[in-house]
Amino acid sequence: MKVLHAPMNFALQPILLVEGLRKLGVDAHHLQYMGAGGKHRFDFRMDKVYYYDPHKSLFESQMQALKEVLHDDYDIYHFWQRSLIFRPDCSDMTGLDLPLIKARGESKIIHRFTGYDLRLKSWDKAVNPYSAFNYKFDGFFDENTQKEYISFLREYVDLFLVQDPELKQFMPEAEILPRALDLDEWQYVGIEKTDCPLVVHAPTNKSCKGSEFVFKAIEVLKDEGLKFNFQTIQNMSHDKAREMYRKADIIIDQLLIGATGVLTLEGWALGKPVVVYLREDLFKPFYGEVPAANANPDTITNVLRDLIKDHDWRQELSQKGRKTVEKFHDSKIVSQKCLDIYNNLEKKKGKTPKGTADIDYILKVSKPNNSLKNLAYSAIRKFIPGQLLYSIKSFVDEPSFKNISAMTKLGLIFVAYLVKGTWKRFLHRIKTPKGLFTFSAITILTICGITFLSINPLLAISIGVICFFPFLFKTKKEKI
């Protein structure tokens, strides 16, 4: 059996399955896209990497990757959140590869939802009183477009997978394949008795994790004089983060989703008591019990206070959490379950479209999107390599030493332009009608981006300046 996982590498989950499947005799691979010279932001290990061609559009690069993948002739395509042809907002023919894959044989397609690609705003608010959407979280996807994309997927996907009962409530026909952990990498550490526990929290996405409520609770407890230390885990590799978790006495995960995150499982594996919001109506039947200090925005202060004071409770959760991970999330067990799912799927007839939802969806996403946001994005992508654009945004959003190399590259580009006589060329170009029009258009787009799209001013101005530079030099030879 030959299996391809692609194109995301969320929390190392696809790689763990690929590694586990290989040990079971499956010819499994994982494909991930990267900008030229890029690497995973958390230093996750990778398998096959397809580097985008900086001289081609994103769509052209992904189509080339699809050609190479089809040549390898996989039996099962196991996609994570998106397929090989995608854009984050479902534009530009996202999902076009699915009918192309189906047209070439008996290959089966599996689609794994990972979170907010299925946990849509209206659906989540209807069942979760602490939904992140109630606390200024906007989500990652346009809901209407995502619903249409899900309808499109139903025409081609042979099997949907989710990681837990919280996501399954939004797609009852999906099978649950739990998240996996390599317990050789996450060995039991446990906790020691201490009068000053170390509490850690990893705010990878503060708005959907409810980090503001964690920080408020910490302030209240500090003001009360409760003795403990607090540390946030961010801007570091996965290996370094694991070392910090090993030293912790209490780990705080998310307070809004109502489900376990990967951090919850990592904490349980290390034998650390974890504070997390779990929907007991969903997870108690699944696990048999809830081996965590269950907290939400209304109760986090009281729960954390009690947990800091009560070593016996921490010790109880330490033992229960480890047992839960060993029973449900050991990568060996999850990999075997994944293989069983594949074997059962191989016995079934492949899915073929029954309706026209796929045609309706393709017609919609193939239409030009002339919104201001999309026009600005297209202009930016035309002149700036994707990896450099991502590096600029990363530095503006979260300045750190890790991003200095990217900003150094940007600085060298600016120096190169200056050496070539940028200012002289600018004065010459601005006097021409085309130059004046281009400069005015970029200026207006920059102002609109700041005013109407709430783009960081520094980022918007930097992008505007860079967009104008190619116009200065990409011309016929002329005397200046």
Domain that holds residue 128: 2-180+334-361
Q: For residue 220, is pLDDT > 90?
A: yes
Please state the φ and ψ torsions of residue 305, each to the nearest 5 degrees.
Answer: -60, -50
Determine the pLDDT at residue 452.
63
Q: For residue 89, is pLDDT > 80?
A: no
Quote the pTM value: 0.75
DSSP code, position 3: E
Categorize the per-residue pLDDT at 339 as very low, low, confident or very high, splitting at 50, 70 and 90. very high
In this structure, are residues 272 and 249 in contact, taking their beta carbons and an 8 Å threshold? Answer: yes
What does the pLDDT average to over 280-303?
Answer: 95
Final residue of a structural domain among 308, 343, 361: 361
Q: For residue 125, is pLDDT > 90?
A: yes
**Percentage above 90 pLDDT, the chain:** 55
Is 466 inside any structural domain? yes
In this structure, are residues 188 and 271 in contact, taking their beta carbons and an 8 Å threshold? Answer: yes
In this structure, are residues 47 and 36 in contact, taking their beta carbons and an 8 Å threshold? Answer: no
Higher pLDDT, 428 or 64: 64
Higher pLDDT, 370 or 32: 32
Determine the pLDDT at residue 153.
93
Two tokens at 326? 């060993």
Three-class DSSP category at 472: helix
> Poorest-confidence range of 77-81, 88-92, 122-126?
88-92
Q: What is the mean pLDDT of the chain?
A: 83
Place of tokens 């580009």: 413
Higher pLDDT, 10 or 20: 20
DSSP code, position 454: -
Categorize the per-residue pLDDT at 91 as very low, low, confident or very high, splitting at 50, 70 and 90. low
One domain for residues 386 and 352:
no
Phi-psi region at 330: left, alpha or beta (left = phi > 0; alpha = psi -120 to 50): beta
Is 480 inside any structural domain? no
The most confident of 135-144, 237-246, 471-480, by mean pLDDT: 237-246
- Cα gap 217→199, rounded to integer Å: 12
Which helix (H) or strand (E) is 286 found in, with range?
Answer: helix 280-287
- Cα gap 166→88, rounded to integer Å: 23
One domain for residues 32 and 163:
yes
Please state the φ and ψ torsions of residue 142, each to the nearest 5 degrees.
Answer: -70, 125
Is 478 inside any structural domain? no
One domain for residues 378 and 440:
yes
Determine the pLDDT at residue 221.
97
Determine the pLDDT at residue 109.
97
- Cα gap 259→320, rounded to integer Å: 17
Is 192 inside any structural domain? no
Final residue of a structural domain among 275, 308, 329: 329
E-assigned strands of 420-477? none
Is 298 inside any structural domain? yes
Q: Are strands 198-201 and 229-232 parallel, antiparallel or unpaired?
A: parallel
In this structure, are residues 271 and 190 in contact, taking their beta carbons and an 8 Å threshold? Answer: yes
Is 27 inside any structural domain? yes
Categorize the per-residue pLDDT at 138 as very low, low, confident or very high, splitting at 50, 70 and 90. confident
One domain for residues 405 and 319:
no
One domain for residues 225 and 294:
yes
- Provide the domain count of the chain: 3
Three-class DSSP category at 261: coil
Give whole-number Cα distances, 298 to 132, 277, 295, 347, in Å.
Answer: 14, 11, 8, 49
> Poorest-confidence range of 11-15, 88-92, 163-167, 218-222?
88-92
Q: Identify the CATH number of the domain in which residue 155 sits.
A: 3.40.50
Determine the pLDDT at residue 46.
82
One domain for residues 341 and 421:
no
One domain for residues 21 and 148:
yes
One domain for residues 388 and 444:
yes
**Longest Cα pair distance anywhere in the chain, in angstroms?**
81
Place of tokens 């960081």: 456
Determine the pLDDT at residue 262.
92
Place of tokens 């890029």: 38
- Cα gap 76→110, rounded to integer Å: 7
Determine the pLDDT at residue 400.
45
Please classify residue 371 by burial: count the beta carbons closer than 10 Å to its beta carbon, then call 0-12 exposed, 13-18 middle and 19+ buried.
exposed
Is 191 inside any structural domain? no
Q: Identify the CATH number of the domain in which residue 287 sits.
A: 3.40.50.2000
One domain for residues 14 and 64:
yes
**Percentage above 70 pLDDT, the chain:** 77
Contacts of 126 (CB under 8 A, 6+ apart): none
In this structure, are residues 5 and 29 in contact, taking their beta carbons and an 8 Å threshold? Answer: yes
Q: For residue 367, is pLDDT > 60?
A: yes
In this structure, are residues 242 and 181 in contact, taking their beta carbons and an 8 Å threshold? Answer: no
One domain for residues 129 and 49:
yes
Helix axes 457-473, 404-419, angle to 10 degrees: 40
Q: For residue 144, is pLDDT > 90?
A: no
Categorize the per-residue pLDDT at 383 as very low, low, confident or very high, splitting at 50, 70 and 90. very low
One domain for residues 59 and 135:
yes
Please state the φ and ψ torsions of residue 229, each to the nearest 5 degrees.
Answer: -110, 150
One domain for residues 93 and 31:
yes
What does the pLDDT average to over 250-260?
Answer: 95
Categorize the per-residue pLDDT at 395 as very low, low, confident or very high, splitting at 50, 70 and 90. very low
Q: For residue 212, is pLDDT > 70?
A: yes
Q: For residue 49, is pLDDT > 60?
A: yes
Q: For residue 373, is pLDDT > 70?
A: no
Categorize the per-residue pLDDT at 414 as very low, low, confident or very high, splitting at 50, 70 and 90. low
Is 193 inside any structural domain? no
Q: Each residue of 431-445: b (16+ CB within 10 Å) or e?
A: eeeebeebbeebeeb
Categorize the per-residue pLDDT at 473 as very low, low, confident or very high, splitting at 50, 70 and 90. low
Q: Where are the alpha helices (DSSP H) in 109-261?
A: 121-127, 143-156, 165-168, 206-209, 211-223, 238-247
Reply yes or no: is the peptide bond before residue 7 cis, omega within 30 of 0: yes
